[in-house]
A and B are shown apart, each in its own frame.
Chain A
């Protein structure tokens, strides 16, 4: 009997709390121009970001072929510099796992880490690898190239290894060639057909472009930025730090840079900054402001921006190698994770509720 009264009370108080929680009468009806937002996303962010990435992997493949053909310290330095540029450009397209990128598992084939040194060594000796198989996710892409460039030893050791055994050069070129082929394919499909499909799928169903890309964006923020780059190496999911699981582990001092690039990409996309000139267009930020969504007396869009800025201010003062942070001052990575998690809640719970978008992914089964 008491139980029933209690639950009735809970029901009433919860529905009361719910009606309070919204911004009430001030929230407008949703007739935001989603179509204009899709056009802005496609033309001012997605296409130029893919074009930029594609050029960087073309240059990466050139640099890799030059090094493989005639390994030298000079060419190794050039190649590694281009590797950093391409890996940086990747951060801006990584979350766009929609359309041709989704159909071709672009992210899984480009950036699964930690990579497997053992499987790479086996594959390059056997020379009968099939890089289109999912079982080779951890033998290719940027993490595998990172191993070949920086995981064999210092630069002169690496050069000697490539001189003494041409299997390494052949495999390296196969990896960069595949990155280039996948990137070109995705860009071509966006240019030839998918852009129009994307901008004309304007509805608000689960398969509409807006709903899908917002989900891809939040998924990436949660799983790749928060978990992959920070939480997993910090040991949030395993109990103790896993320093070897950082992005670009072998280059060692690259993980902070890649994190910052990825965070900036998420911020730019949220604010609607164009990829090339930063000009703002219809964006998630404007969408939330248009609906006048508030959260605890403050604009939700401002809370999200402030939360991303809070994460940035922690990250930018960290050492450039997240693996050494995980090993030596892991509490700093945990603090960064906590700030990112606060942003995840604002995006995944508050923003999605305000925009009436359902989460289309669930916690992976892990088995």
Chain B
């Protein structure tokens, strides 16, 4: 046993090398060999930067404040809803944030939830339902959790519960609504906007975008073409809060509780340790290709980004389901419930992924609703009633749709 283990891992490592070599050969063939990804995400025109994603950075910063406020028991549901929408319920301007710059901004998280061109421009009913889901997570956080914050939680009883030395706040079914909301927004805001909107050909190539880009026709009052800007906006949803957004892999995951953080987590797993560099390279090379009008090369980079970003959501869904299974087995229910809170949001996010081969989400809304129902309705006490067999079945159901294995995601 002792001896077979290292050999086995060496073998699997070797296999990994083999398969990753193959991937690179097929996926990064460069039709324009002179064009390579620059070292940094830095693009200039007329001696000034042509990159701009300030709107994305602002929404991520608003999300960070909202995330913290969800556990600030002095807040009201209305306070939190205003942080989500950056308006009051009548649409009037409000100043709900700590940072003055965010109060001065007219951007809003809510307006970009389930708002991509590809998935929602002709499905406003679904968009409205998803927005309502997010709103209800906030309302329930206040209604069910705040009231019970000073009692101990148990199966069927809302309250606080230990997760190691951390404290988690759950409702009677073990739902951690703040996790539900923030992790669902990773899909409903970041992934949806990135993959189904800004990296959609319908958006990048909309109207005269290609012709304008070829002629370097800049958007009025700016230093970029419309296509360049769309690409940057996709980039901003992943790297918009980096210390240095042109060199964002330094301190990856440090400043951002949304997609960026989980790229760092996935990249920290030896099975996926090329993810951060793959995505960053694809963004840089795609942006350079746009500048040169090399649209086939651009589209290859889009496929890489769609694959890796979608896989992050799938990997973390499975990872947290398995972590919950292990925590239940170790008799650590607080840890298990927290893992399930994360899992719930990542699974919710699956409907915003996009398979580059089929151009469709890896899971439909209906499939996601079915999994979430299986997850939360095993018994009267919700997540408390889950067993290992159900968690394994759901993990396999998700992993089977992707190219990673359950074991690769689980550790």
Contacts and interface: CB of A to CB of B under 8 A. Distances in A.
Partners in one complex: yes
B152 A132 contact: yes
A27 B3 CA distance: 10
B1 A105 contact: no
B167 A135 contact: yes
B261 interface: yes
Contacts of A137: 162, 165, 167
Interface of A: 3-4, 6-8, 10-11, 14-15, 18-19, 21-22, 27, 102-103, 105, 108, 112, 130, 132-135, 137, 207, 353-354, 356, 360, 362, 364-365, 367
Contacts of A365: 265, 342
Contacts of A27: 2
Contact of B2 (A22, A102, A108, A130): A22
B13 A19 contact: no
Given A7-B14, A7-B17, A8-B14, A15 B160 contact: no
A130 B152 CA distance: 10
29 contacts: A3-B21, A4-B18, A6-B17, A11-B10, A11-B11, A14-B10, A14-B13, A15-B6, A15-B7, A18-B6, A18-B10, A21-B6, A22-B3, A27-B2, A103-B331, A105-B162, A112-B165, A130-B150, A133-B151, A133-B167, A134-B152, A134-B162, A134-B166, A137-B165, A137-B167, A207-B329, A356-B2, A365-B342, A367-B261
Interface in B321-367: 329-331, 334, 342
Interface of B: 1-3, 5-7, 10-11, 13-14, 17-18, 21, 24-25, 149-152, 160-162, 164-167, 257, 261, 265, 329-331, 334, 342, 411
Contacts of B261: 367
B56 to A, nearest CB: 21
A224 B149 CA distance: 29
Nearest to B19: A7
A103 B333 CA distance: 11
Contacts of B160: 133-135
Contacts of B149: 135
Nearest to A102: B331
Contacts of A108: 162, 164-165
A15 B330 contact: no
A134 B167 contact: yes
Contacts of B331: 102-103
Given A4-B18, A4-B21, 11 more contacts: A11-B17, A15-B6, A18-B6, A21-B6, A133-B160, A133-B167, A134-B166, A134-B334, A137-B165, A365-B265, A365-B342
